[in-house]
Every structure is written in C-alpha cells, then in structure tokens.
Structure 1
Amino acid sequence: MSAVKQAEMGPETTAIETAKDRETPIRKLFKAQAFQIFIVLLVVIAIFSAIAPDTFAQLSNLRLVVQNASILAVLGVGMTYVIITSGIDLSIGSVLVFSGVVSATTMRAMGGDDWGTAIVGIIVSIGVGILWGTFNGILISKAKVPPLIVTLGSLGMALGLAQILTGGVDIREVPSVLTDSIGYGNIFGAVPIISVIALVVVIIGALILHKTKFGLYTYAVGSSEEAARRVGVKVDRHLIRIYAISGGLAGLAGILSLSQFGTTAIAGQSQTNLNVIAAVVIGGTSLFGGYGTIFGTVVGLFIPAVLQNGFVITGVQPFWQQVAVGAVLILAVYVDQVRRSSAARGGSTSFWRALVSRKKK
C-alpha cells in the first residue's frame, strides 16, 4: 500500500486495508458465502448419489434438475440486481403470467404457427415485462413508495389482468415451433435449449454486474443511496433500469414457460416469487443491499431443486424440502447479519474509493 493511501486513511482503517490486501485469493474464496453454499450443494449431491446411485446419479436425472431450474435462473438474475439495491420484487411470478398471457393472446390472434408469429410473441412478452418493471421502478424511485408495497400491488394487478384477459382459463394455442424448438429442443441431443438460454442470461447478467459501471453503481445504490448520489450516481434512473431488467427477464421467463408447457400458467406461479427470493438470499445476496453475486444465486437455486428431486427419488416426502430450504434460508440471513456486523466494525472504505475512481474516468 502506498504512502499516499496510508495518509488518506486513518491508522485503524489502514491496518484493516493492509490485512485485506494480504489475504490470498484462496482465503477470500473460502470466506465467500456463495462458495460455502456451493460446498453444501456438493455435499447434498454426494449424499443422494450414495443413497440412489442408479437413479439420482445419472446424466438424465441431472439434465432434468437443470431444466427444471432454468426458468427460475432467468428470474433469479433480475432478482439479484433488485435485492443488491436493497429492494424487493414480489411481482415477478405474476408478471411472468401476464406477459405469457398477452403473448399467447397476440400469437393466437395472428393465427400463424411459424417463426414469424413466434418472434412477435417473444418480443411482446419481453416488452410487456419491461413496461411493467419500468412502472414498478418509477413508483419506487419517483413516488418513493416502498418496493414491498409497489411490487405487492403489482403482483395482484398483473395476475388479475391476466385472469380478466383469459376469463381464468389457460390459453393452450401456442405455436408448435416454440414448444418443439425451445420447450423440448436439445443441443447435441442432450442439452436442453431452454437451459442454454438460461445460461446465456446468467453469463451476461454476471458480466454486467461484476465487470461494468452499471454493476458498480448497483452495489453503490444498495450500500447507501445518499452516498451514491454524492459521488454522482443518478439513483432514480438506475433504480428504474434495475426494475425494468427484472420485469424484462420475467417477460422472457413467461415465453420460456409457454414454450416448455405449451400453455399459460395462470394458477401455477403463486410461489415463484418466494422461491426465487429464497434462492437469491440462500446464495449469499444480502437482503440489506450492497452485496451479492450471480454465481451465488445459481447455487441457491439448485439447492431446493436438488433436494426436491432427491427426496422424490429416495422416497422421502417432498414436503421436507420446504423444511430444509426454510432452515437454510434462516441460516443464510443469520450469516449475512454476522458478516455485516463484522464489516461495520471494520469500516472499510475501499468500495467507495473504487466507485469514485470509476466516476472520474
């Protein structure tokens, strides 16, 4: 550490920063909550593989687990961004349903069964999701209505409008090109296309969050809105974009759901928002904002997916999955509180120095 940096910081902070600089990458990795949860996931997989090697520990079963988690992974990327900003989005399940309903209604009205009709449906679904997310973001950032209330209201509004449009009856006329190519399509005969799409979303989401100014500003807003404003971050505009991303990904999940099941799912997404939030938090993203990773979210998604699959295969009541996930969720929040208390005592300033440095460039 340079003498200039030492002069800029107090002696206590300097000592802390010096100690952090001396930490090896391996030590930092083992201290990361996402990595600790990943170890838990590997242990769970090892246990089920030992109990049922002929069924659980098979490539076909792994493929099923991955495919089942794909739509939740798309939603999880958007939710990670939202929670890092110290927000919440309870509406994603309903926005998924509403986007799928509007898309299916549009494609049915067009009457085609080709890629032209399907592409219009894809654009409509994602567009509707972005509009709904933008609506949430404006109310949260400009009207200063708490995210919990805004998205709880959107949850009911989006689901209610979907029921009004359909009369409460699912639409089953979905172009076969969607179901055949995306819903049941495979690459190399083994990798589900729907999972490849989810992987692309995860990679792009991770790169933007961890390698761009947009991601840095997201962490800054979650750490302290006021401090972010002082260093020049346009917080209101950024929050609108964050919720637009969450809504857009819910719209993408809506068209993926249509492709996978060949029908809208008006009554089938009631627990989606809570499952995604639980996965994000289990993966190490802080409910208090300012901390989280896409990798952790993906790991957090696979824990309940693997538990459910393993319980079914081994003959254990699948209801135990809810008990196990609930316990892990509480433990994850407790660990996060301990970590935040430790960080508060440390008083690190490196994050804000990095933010100011990026703003000056």
Structure 2
Amino acid sequence: MSIDARTPKMGPETTAIAEVDAKETLFARLARTQWLQILIVLIAIVAVFSVMAPDTFPHWGNVRLIIQNASILAVLAVGITFVIITSGIDLSIGSVLVFSGVAAAIAMRTIGGDGWGTAIVGIVVSIAAGLFWGFFNGFVIAKLKVPPLIVTLGTMGIALGLAQILTGGVDIREVPEVLTNSIGYGNVFGTIPIISVIALVVIVIGAIVLHRTRFGLHTYAVGSNEESARRVGVKVDRRLIAVYALTGGLAGLAGIMSLAQFSTTAIAGQTETNLNVITAVVIGGTSLFGGIGTIIGSIVGLFIPAVLQNGFVILGVQPFWQQVAVGAVLIVAVYVDQVRRAQASRGGDVSVWKHLFARRRG
C-alpha cells in the first residue's frame, strides 16, 4: 500500500475544523499573555477617566503630558526588565540616575558655555557614570557572589550619598540652554516631545536585543536556570555583568534626560523611582523569579500608575488612592505570575533550552 493510500486526506470540513482549532489555540495563548491582560486593564482605566473627564483627560495635550512624564521611567524600565529576567534586582537605579546627573552637571559647569560641545560632554559623562555603577553592581554580584538585593541596596546609598557630598546637598541648576531647549522642551513635528522620542528609540532597541539576539536568549536562560545555562555554554558571569552594566548605562542616560527636562539635578526627587519602575515591570508580566518578561509588557505596566496619577489629579481625587490602586494591581500581577509558573512547570515549557541546544549543536 502506498504512503498516499495510508494517509487520510484532508477534506473541506476537516480543514475548517483544523483552522478553528488553530485559531482557538492562538486566542487561548494570547489570553494567557500577562502583558495583554494588563493592556486590557490599562484600556479600561483610560476609558473610565475619559468618561468621567471628557473635556480634559482624552485630549492630546493631556495624553502628551502622560507620555512625557513616563519617558524617563521607560528608559529605566528597559534595563530593569533585563535584570529581573535574570532573576536579579536593582534598587540603585534612582540613585545612579541622580549621581549621573550630578556628575554631568559638574562637568558641564566646569567647562562652561551653553553650546552643544558642553552638552555632549555632559551626556558622555552621565552615561559613563551610569555604566561604572552598573559594572560595579554586576561584578560584585557575578564574581563575589553577593546577592543582588544586598549589592544594589548598598550602591543605592553610596551613589546618593556621593551625589550629596559632591553638591553639598544643594541642587545644581546651571544647565546649558541647548540641552534644556533641544531635549528637555524640544518637540518633533511641533507636538511630540524629543525626550519621548529618545525613550521610544531605547524601547525599540531594547526589545530587539531582548527578543531577537543571542544576548537576549542568554538573558532568559540565566534567569530560567543559571546552572543549566552554564552547562550549555552560556558565560553566566559575563552575561550578568553586561546586563547590570546595561541597566546602569540606561540609568545614566535617564540622568541626563532628567537634567534636561527639569533644568536641575533634583537630588531629592528620585527617592521612589526604583520602586516605581520595578513595580511597573512586574505589573507588566516580568517574573520576579526570572526567565519570563517582555519589554512591551514593562512599558504597558509603566503606564498604569502614570495614567492613574494623571486621572486622579484631573478628578481632584487624593493622590494617596493611586498608591492603593497600584499596590492592588501589583499583588494581583504577582499572584497571576505564580499561577502561570505553576502551570508552565506542569506543562514542561522548555522553549528557551530548545533554542540554546539547537544553537550549540549548530
């Protein structure tokens, strides 16, 4: 008997059923995606505020303000997503942002002038300062085996303390006009803030690196199972140092963006930045246990507190309710993550390891 004779033929009805099953599988998979669930929550919040304040909330001017206010945190969220996927944490990003801004402000004040030459020096110094702190965090975590929570808690205090020592506790307000006018208050097409365009570029590049490169694949592998990652050839220590250095560099970039937007170092203005960003990333579906997370999820999670804060201000609601709402969403997000991990462990989801073994054999 020929192979064709043994193989059942697909009639029109069978094909239709198969297509329905494929669609149902796709829809079921999407329904289980946490960032998509959070996006639905965000859309619902936006809809509620739009109905309650139709003359103010849904207008482009207000939407633009929300996006601009979230831009600096979005840059930080990209780095924190990488860190948490490795099953780590970085509590120092707010302090690193402040220190980087202070270092840049001092460098630009020392050089003097309001031109791009001075501004570029400040940008380079800010990012370099962030890279230094990130590399330091990664080295101590990877090589000295000190837990990330302890290391970054320590550098959080050290970086902020050094920033206060360098400034005497007084904010530096001498910022080149070209920096504030072009980046802080500049617009593209007359309406889109340049600071938001910078954040968008960082988000796109971060998403490509995380989801389309070997670096991203290895980041997931380290967070899924560090020992297994070592066995398939991933240089775990080097990867951890690179991830924390990346996060520090992005904190340095956020530092110069903050300096450009507010025209001051704002030493006391970043006390809750680290917790706000970590909360947003976790709400967006990145697992605190490592190995799971997306850039788009982190950005969606970031806009929930941003929209809540803006909406409460417009409606005249006490801002304390924002903390209550965000805290409740965070608890639900972590619970959903635990349920999802339990289901994945029973189902044996090993897609990351399939890719790694395939690359190794290739």
Residue 228 of structure 1 is matched in structure 2 by 229
Task: Tell me the alpha carbon deviations over residues 4-60 of structure 1, each in whole angstroms, 9 at most, x when there is no partner.
Answer: xxxxxxxxxxxxxxxx99964333222100000000000000000001010001000
Kept in 2: contact 1:79–1:88 (CA 8 A):
yes
Kept in 1: contact 2:217–2:352 (CA 8 A):
no
**2:158 corresponds to which letter in structure 1?**
M
Task: Tell me the alpha carbon deviations over residues 215-234 of structure 1, each in whole angstroms, 9 at most, x when there is no partner.
Answer: 00000000000000000000
Task: Tell me the alpha carbon deviations over residues 283-309 of structure 1, each in whole angstroms, 9 at most, x when there is no partner.
Answer: 000000000000000000000000000
Deviation (angstroms), 1:360: 3.4
Instruction: Spell out the pairing of 1:163-182 with structure 2 (5 A cutoff).
Output: 163-182=164-183
SS of the residue corresponding to residue 263 of structure 1 reads coil
Residue 61 of structure 1 is matched in structure 2 by 62
Task: Tell me the alpha carbon deviations over residues 76-114 of structure 1, each in whole angstroms, 9 at most, x when there is no partner.
Answer: 000000000000000000000000000000000001110
Looking at structure 2, the residues matched to 202 and 26 of structure 1 have their Cα atoms a distance apart, in angstroms, of: 26
Deviation (angstroms), 1:354: 1.3
**2:77 paired with 1:76:** yes
**1:177 corresponds to which letter in structure 2?**
V
TM-score by structure 2 length? 0.93
Residue 112 of structure 2 is matched in structure 1 by 111
Looking at structure 2, the residues matched to 240 and 156 of structure 1 have their Cα atoms a distance apart, in angstroms, of: 20
Q: Which blocks of at least 5 consecutive residues in structure 2 are unaligned?
A: 1-20
Looking at structure 1, the residues matched to 41 and 272 of structure 2 have their Cα atoms a distance apart, in angstroms, of: 24
**2:192 paired with 1:191:** yes
Kept in 1: contact 2:185–2:261 (CA 8 A):
yes
Task: Tell me the alpha carbon deviations over residues 101-150 of structure 1, each in whole angstroms, 9 at most, x when there is no partner.
Answer: 00000000001110001001000100110011000000000000000000
SS of the residue corresponding to residue 144 of structure 1 reads coil
Kept in 2: contact 1:213–1:358 (CA 8 A):
no
Deviation (angstroms), 1:344: 1.0
Looking at structure 2, the residues matched to 147 and 263 of structure 1 have their Cα atoms a distance apart, in angstroms, of: 30
Identity %, equivalent residues: 73
Residue 252 of structure 2 is matched in structure 1 by 251
Deviates more, 1:21-30 or 1:320-329: 21-30
SS of the residue corresponding to residue 189 of structure 1 reads coil
Looking at structure 2, the residues matched to 255 and 30 of structure 1 have their Cα atoms a distance apart, in angstroms, of: 39
Number of residue pairs the alignment of both structures matches: 342
**1:260 corresponds to which letter in structure 2?**
Q
Instruction: Spell out the pairing of 1:131-280 with structure 2 (5 A cutoff).
Output: 131-280=132-281
SS of the residue corresponding to residue 319 of structure 2 reads coil
Task: Tell me the alpha carbon deviations over residues 297-324 of structure 1, each in whole angstroms, 9 at most, x when there is no partner.
Answer: 0000000000000011111111100000
Residue 5 of structure 1 is matched in structure 2 by none
TM-score by structure 1 length? 0.93
Residue 321 of structure 2 is matched in structure 1 by 320
Instruction: Spell out the pairing of 1:25-104 with structure 2 (5 A cutoff).
Output: 25-104=26-105
SS of the residue corresponding to residue 173 of structure 1 reads coil
For the pair shown, the structure with the greater C-alpha radius of gyration is: 2
SS of the residue corresponding to residue 104 of structure 2 reads helix
Q: Deviation above 4 Å: which 4+ runs of structure 1?
A: 20-23
Residue 358 of structure 1 is matched in structure 2 by 359
**2:299 paired with 1:298:** yes
Looking at structure 1, the residues matched to 292 and 276 of structure 2 have their Cα atoms a distance apart, in angstroms, of: 20
Looking at structure 1, the residues matched to 117 and 86 of structure 2 have their Cα atoms a distance apart, in angstroms, of: 38
Looking at structure 1, the residues matched to 361 and 213 of structure 2 have their Cα atoms a distance apart, in angstroms, of: 14
Residue 125 of structure 1 is matched in structure 2 by 126
Looking at structure 2, the residues matched to 36 and 348 of structure 1 have their Cα atoms a distance apart, in angstroms, of: 21
Q: Which blocks of at least 5 consecutive residues in structure 1 are unaligned?
A: 1-19
Kept in 2: contact 1:91–1:152 (CA 8 A):
yes
SS of the residue corresponding to residue 268 of structure 2 reads coil
Looking at structure 1, the residues matched to 100 and 31 of structure 2 have their Cα atoms a distance apart, in angstroms, of: 40
Looking at structure 1, the residues matched to 68 and 145 of structure 2 have their Cα atoms a distance apart, in angstroms, of: 38
